[in-house]
Amino acid sequence: MRMFGLIMLAIGMVTLATAQEKEKAVPRSASELKAIEALRKMGALVLEVAQNDNHLDISYLQPDEKFGDSHLAPLKELKGVVHLNLRNQPVTDALLVHIKSIDSLTKLHLEKTKITDKGLAELKGLKNLEYLNIYGTEVTDAGVAQLTDLKKLKKVFLWQTKATKAGAANLTKAIPGVDVNLGYDDIKLPEPKKEEPKKDMKKEEKKKDAKKDDKKADAKKDDKKADAAKDAKKDAKKEEKK
């Protein structure tokens, strides 16, 4: 009986936890469901973050040359959009007006888009933004300076932009702890080893040949001296016989 009671208690606790989780997952309104359907028809991948967490992760995975206002307008009907991926889409500064009011965003991909400093001004209201990727854009230090009010930023990617180390340093001063990544500029490559000058093999060979020639010349001189000495001895003997 005691074991049965423990089992029933465990079942009751699980049921209560499930009920609490369902309460957290607030049902979506008709307008939200309609907006999600519209986004999916235009090629967006719309997913809930977890089984019991209906915050939304929205990605446009396939580049679309006709990408425009209609692709982003449905976002205003949605609550709890935390991740938005617009990588490689022809997103312009003007289109970012559809994003500026999504204050639930924590992660935003804008790399390889057409945004500039002007467009970053539209992001000032994203107070919960933690991750921003704008590599491969025309952003400069002036645009980076407009991010200083986003105090929750933890990572900013600036590869292949017109931003400089000075601009990145100013952002890190304004937001302590933020990681501003400039790509290869951030990586300290080891200095190349100084190679010893290669010896000119031909010159070395010529020197060796010259030394051999000198030795041969010396040997010939020695032979001539020896022959001269022999001749001198022969002449001396002839003189003695006379």
CATH number of 155's domain: 3.80.10.10
Q: Which amino acid is at 5?
A: G
- Residue with more model confidence, 226 or 140: 140
Please give the model's pTM, rounded to 2 decimal places: 0.68
**65 and 144, same domain (yes or no):** yes
Residues 149 and 240 grouped into a single domain: no
Do residue 146 and residue 223 come from a single domain?
A: no
Q: Are residues 177 and 223 in the same domain?
A: no
> Which residues have CB under 8 Å from 164's CB, separation 6+?
141
Q: How far, in Å, CA of 83 to CA of 203, rounded?
A: 68
Q: Model confidence over 108-165: pLDDT tens digits?
A: 999 999 999 999 999 999 999 999 999 999 999 999 999 999 999 999 999 999 999 9
Can you list the pairs that 78-82 forms with residues at least 24 positions away whose Cβ atoms lie under 8 Å? Answer: 78/32, 78/35, 78/36, 79/32, 79/104, 80/54, 80/55, 80/56, 80/104, 81/55, 81/56, 81/105, 82/49, 82/55, 82/56, 82/57, 82/106, 82/107
Give the model's pLDDT for residue 33.
96
Give the amino acid at 201.
M
Distance CA 94, CA 68 (A): 10
Same domain, 59 and 156: yes
The residue ranking higher by pLDDT, 82 or 213, is 82
Residue 39 lies in a domain: yes
The answer to whether residues 178 and 216 belong to one domain is no
Q: What is the mean pLDDT of residues 84-104?
A: 97
182 and 90 assigned to the same domain: yes
- Both tokens of 216, joined, read 């041969």
- pLDDT tens digits, residue range 207-216? 666 666 666 6
42 Cβ neighbours under 8 A, 6+ residues apart: 64, 70, 71
Instruction: Give a yes or no: residue 6 inside a domain.
Output: no
Q: Is the pLDDT of residue 16 over 50?
A: no
Amino acid 95: pLDDT: 97
pLDDT of residue 176: 94
| Structural domain containing residue 152 | 27-186
90 SS3 class: coil
- At residue 206, does pLDDT exceed 90? no
Return the pLDDT at 70.
96
Give the total number of structural domains in the chain. 2
pLDDT at 17 over 70: no
d(CA 28, CA 239): 138
Query: 9-18, 35-44, 47-56, 181-190: which has the minimum mean pLDDT?
Result: 9-18
